[in-house]
Amino acid sequence: MNYTKSAVLIAAMSLSFAVYAAGGHSGPAVALPIPGKLGEVIVNPYNMAPLTAVIRNGGYVVQDAHVKVLPKMKGQTIEYDVSNGLLMTYAGIPVFGLYPDYVNKVEVSYTRIDGAKKKTITETYQIYTGPTYANVNGMARFPQPFFDAKVKKVDPEFADRLYLINNFQGKSSKGTRVSWNNPEGGALEWNFEPQVAVIDTTGEIRWFMDASSIYDINSIWNAGCFMGFRQNDDGQISFGYGQRYAKIDLMGRTIFNRILPDNYNDFSHSMDNSPNGNYFLRVASSNYKFPNSDKHVRTVRDVIAEVNPATGNVVDEWRLFDILDPYRDTVLKALDQGAVCLNIDAAKAGETMSAEDLAKIHTFGDILGTGPGRNWAHVNSVDHDAEDDSIIISSRHQSAAIKIGRDKEVKWILSSPVGWKSPWREKMLTPVDHLGNPLKCEGSTCEGDFDYPWTQHTAFKIDSKSKGDILYLSIFDNGDARGMEQPALPTMKYSRAVIYKIDQKKMTVEQVWSYGKDRGFEWYSPITSIVEYQKDKDSVFVYSANSGAKVNDRGAMVSAPNPTLMEFKWNASKPSLEIQLENCAGYQAMPISVNAAFAPAK
Q: Which residues are catalytic?
A: 457
Q: Buried (b) or exposed (e) across 437-474, using 16+ Cβ within 10 A? A: eebeeeebebeeebbbbbbbbbbbbbbebbeeeebbbb
Distance, CA of 391 to CA of 278 (rounded, Å):
13
| Pairing label, strands 296-298, 184-185 | parallel
Q: Is 337 left (phi over 0), alpha (psi -120 to 50) or beta?
A: alpha
d(CA 194, CA 91): 30
Q: Strand 314-319 relative to strand 303-307: parallel, antiparallel, unpaired? A: antiparallel
Q: Apex CA 424: angle with CA 419 and CA 430, to 5°?
A: 80
User: How many residues are listed for the chain in this entry?
Assistant: 602
β-strands 102-114, 117-129 pairing:
antiparallel
Measured distance CA(274)–CA(385) in Å, rounded: 8
User: Nearest 5°: phi and psi at 156?
Assistant: -55, -35
d(CA 495, CA 264): 33
Burial code (b: 16+ CB inside 10 Å, e: under 16) for 171-185 equals bbeebeeeebeebeb
DSSP for 248-314? E-TT--EEEEEEPPTTEE-B-S-EEE-TTS-EEEEEEES-EEPTTSS-EEE--S-EEEEE-TTT--E
* Burial of 571 (C-beta count, 10 Å sphere; 0-12/13-18/19+): exposed
64 beta partners: none
Residue 275: CA atoms inside 13 Å, Cβ hemisphere, count?
Answer: 11
Q: Are 445 and 459 in contact (CB under 8 A)?
A: no
Tally of CB atoms within 10 A around 9 = 12
If 0-12 CB within 10 Å is exposed, 13-18 middle and 19+ buried, where does residue 423 land?
exposed
Q: What are phi and psi of 108, to 5 degrees?
A: -125, 140
Strand 539-544 vs strand 92-96: parallel, antiparallel, or unpaired? unpaired
For residue 115, give the 3-state DSSP assignment.
coil
